[in-house]
């Protein structure tokens, strides 16, 4: 069965019937996510060698676009998931990638910080230079920080998290943070963030302990990953998600605010 056929069945049988409840009640579409996983759509872009679909960005954009027409909230969850998986597919451990391929694992981005969407010329963008910090001791890394606009907060299984480097003189470092990590805190009654039903919230680490092997790529090398992988995926998927369902309360937004503006700032930095 092709992924398009599988998606059509899930949209008709599961996503569509609960879309209005998801929007009106702000209820996270857990049943829809589970069905998408069982149909192989959460693992769409994981390599076939690990049991995934082996598909690419264009295929993920097609899934997000078709889902957005039925349920924008579910599409927003998929948008953040696919962008996070793009990082995990290159740098994540095989176990997590197999779990995603099997449809048992939802990923999300935890990159944006307060102030990431504001400021004029010369103002440092916290997406490119996060305030979150990491300290290393005996093979364990303590992450401290606050990430805003995290889609599927409290619902995802793994967050792609950014911090200042451990030792590198510049850049940022990315981490795979499991949702069950002690002291990873999601408010029980989060403020209103993102489209209704996406469980978008601020996530706190004070601190969260992860093994040193949770680092995604090289220390300080996360800036290049954000610019070359995360932001292009977010831009393409966000573009594909429009137009959104006319009954939605607001347009779909990625977990990183205004990626085009961030790319512009990065290009300006590189040219200086």
pLDDT score of 118: 41
**Assigned CATH class of 3-271:** mainly beta
- Please state, for a pLDDT cut of 70, what percent of the chain lies above it: 82
pTM for this entry: 0.89
pLDDT in tens, 97-145: 999 999 999 999 999 986 544 444 443 566 778 999 999 998 999 999 9
Calpha distance 113→267 (Å, rounded): 20
Cα separation, 94 vs 110, whole angstroms: 21
For residue 23, the model assigns a pLDDT of: 86
Q: Which of 110, 104, 2, 8 is nearest to 50 (CA)?
A: 104
For 75-124, give the secondary structure using H, E and C: HHHHHHHHHHHHHHHHHCCHHHHHHHHCCCCCEEEECCCCCCCCCCCCCC
Domain boundaries, the chain: 3-271
Assign 266 a pLDDT band (cuts: 50, 70, 90). Answer: very low
In Å, how far are 3, 52, 86, 216 from 40, measured between CA atoms? 7, 7, 16, 24
Helix (H, G, I), strand (E, B) or coil at 219: coil
Confidence band, pLDDT 50/70/90 cuts, at residue 247: very low
Q: Give tens-digit pLDDT for 4-17.
A: 999 999 999 999 99
Is the model's pLDDT at 63 over the cut of 90? yes
Question: Using one digit for the tens of pLDDT, what is the confidence trace for 67-107?
Answer: 999 999 999 999 999 999 999 999 999 999 999 999 999 99
| Preceding omega of 226 cis (within 30 degrees of 0) | no
* E strand or H helix at 216: strand 215-216
């Amino acid at each position: 069965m092709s992924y398009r056929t599988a998606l059509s069945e899930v949209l008709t049988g599961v996503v569509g019937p609960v879309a209005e409840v998801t929007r009106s009640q702000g209820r996270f579409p857990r049943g829809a996510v589970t069905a998408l996983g069982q149909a192989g759509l959460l693992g769409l872009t994981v390599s076939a060698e690990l049991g995934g679909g082996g598909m690419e960005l264009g295929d993920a954009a097609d899934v997000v676009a078709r889902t957005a027409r039925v349920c924008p909230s579910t599409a927003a969850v998929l948008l953040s998931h696919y962008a996070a998986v793009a990082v995990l597919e290159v740098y994540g451990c095989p176990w997590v990638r197999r779990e995603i391929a099997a449809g048992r694992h939802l990923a999300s981005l935890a990159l944006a910080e307060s102030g990431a969407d504001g400021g004029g010329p010369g103002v440092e963008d916290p997406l490119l230079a996060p305030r979150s910090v990491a300290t290393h001791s005996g093979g364990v890394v303590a992450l401290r920080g606050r990430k805003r606009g995290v889609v599927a907060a409290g619902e995802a299984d793994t967050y792609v998290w950014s911090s200042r480097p451990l030792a590198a003189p510049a850049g940022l470092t990315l981490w795979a943070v499991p949702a069950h990590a002690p002291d990873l805190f999601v408010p029980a009654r989060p403020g209103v963030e993102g489209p209704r039903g996406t469980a978008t919230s601020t996530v706190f680490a004070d601190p969260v302990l992860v093994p040193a092997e949770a680092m995604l790529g090289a220390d300080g090398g996360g800036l290049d990953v954000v610019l070359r992988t995360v932001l292009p995926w977010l831009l393409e998927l966000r573009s594909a998600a429009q137009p959104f369902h006319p009954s939605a309360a607001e347009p779909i937004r990625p977990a990183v605010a205004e990626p085009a503006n961030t790319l512009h700032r990065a290009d300006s930095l590189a040219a200086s």
